[in-house]
A and B are shown apart, each in its own frame.
Chain A
Amino acid sequence: MSTKPGYLSTNTPSFHFYLAPLAWIRTNLFSGPVDSLLTLLALYLLWIGIPPFIQWAIMDADWVGNSRDQCIGGGACWVFVRVRLDQFLYGAYPTDQQWRVNLGLLLFVLLLVPIMLRQVPYKGVLAAFLIVVYPVIAYALFYGGWLGLPVVETHQWGGLMLTLILAVVGIVLSLPFGTLLALGRRSDLPVIRAACVTYIELWRGVPLITVLFMASVMLPLFFPEGFNPDKLLRAMIGIVLFQSAYMAEVVRGGLQAIPKGQYEAAKALGLGYWQTMGLVILPQALKLVIPGIVNTFIALFKDTTLVLIIGLFDLLGKVQQAFNDPEWLGYSTEGYLFAGFIFWAFCFSMSRYSQALERSLHTGHKH
């Protein structure tokens, strides 16, 4: 009796496609009295919820203009978001320099898309470039101070741009660090094991807010006089250290699900420790825990909003800041909806991508 990891992620295709629409409705929505009742209740709730919302958010909404005087329709005042969009996206980054951010983002997307598609050669090279070279390029581009690019201090970075920077750095670094920690926690060497367990349990037990606060207030106390790393950098370090501990536990779950026979077969073939892990165990273990990994990514993405506590203004921070503008008092619903929608769009894309990835990595089974 051996557990085959590939067997766990079975997606049963829906066979309802073959039924006619009416039959489909019957079997899925009205297959019994309780079923029918729930269906009707759900329809009723949708009926009383959706139309007024659409009325408010679209029909009666005001879209164009540049001051609150244009908001007269009684619906949502998207003018507020429109006027503030620049700040929501780029923070205090100078408007005439924003092309640098766009260029950096474009480069990132151009590198990421081929990595995410399946049948592309040289993925390893691209990934290495993305992890090692790209951050340098992006930093040089965003910060400037060379080639005649004016310097934009990191405290001017903000909005969605800051959210994405924090999330990408956190995601890209916490996975490898977390994997190393997970391997360390299962190591045969007691010293390494103890160190990894201590690290994981320590960081997992502390709220992220505390970590960020410490990174911002306490960390400088330990640094030598005159060496005062940037606030953004400190926040990044805090996020990565914190999320790695979570990621480690997710990956460890995957490692534990791999049957002993896989290790033994690899050893018996003469593969060394790192080869066994890199070629046999991790590809299977990580595939198993894709849902958990993406779950952590999504949590991380949303947790970046906490940098507000140390005075960095990410997307949500910028939106909230705008509520205090006397010119625009009373439009927080629109602001929160906008921020919520952006966060949702990113998180939902990650989720969809992970599902597609799981399907494409599924290596089939008999039955």
Chain B
Amino acid sequence: MWDIITNALPQLIAAGLKYTIPIAIISFLIGLVLALLTALVRISKKGGAFYVLKAIVRFYVWLFRSTPLLVQLFIVYFGLPYLKISGLAPEGIKLTPLVAGILTFSLNTGAYCSETMRAAILSIPKGQWEAAYSIGMTRALALRRIILPQAIRVSLPPLANSFISLVKDTSLAASITIVEMFEVSQQIAAQNYQPLVMYCLVAALYAVACSLLSWLQGYLEKVTSRYVSNAN
């Protein structure tokens, strides 16, 4: 059994470093930007044309939160090539597996994280806004200097959870032909007829990665909560 493991491990780790981790990180970063923009639109007090934008953004969040990630991946990778838009994309929208994967993961995690960020922003007491307004801040400045720094601390644990979920969810990318870690484990299992060992091994690798992330989460929480601890 050691042989099996020592033979497979380098390939699995290579796939993890080449696909799983980069896909997770890139998608999460794009997702965070999307989430922040989405949350800001949703808490905005602007009216007029903003209502349309708000409606679009709400539809986006609803759509990605109420459909399975695997189905989303299939629609983007297998479905969009059949979406023929004359002028824009007469041949259908064909994305490479990697682009389709990152796009879908970003949109999905962005939808979830936007709810986290919106809730975090709304959880900051009204008095913080008022104190910021009182020293002459605009809404944008108050948000940037006073509200968001506090909201980020509040949203750190749920955002970290989202990231950890995303790392595991990247295994779904195997279904759209990306040779990430789980796909590699399947390929090896098909060759060495050791599915139990292979899948337990890949599970252990995910577990190690996620444990490291949990530890990092704990560290970040400690750093960002300097000012809430040791109250007297």
The answer to whether A and B assemble together is no
Interface residues of chain A, those whose CB is within 8 Å of chain B, are none
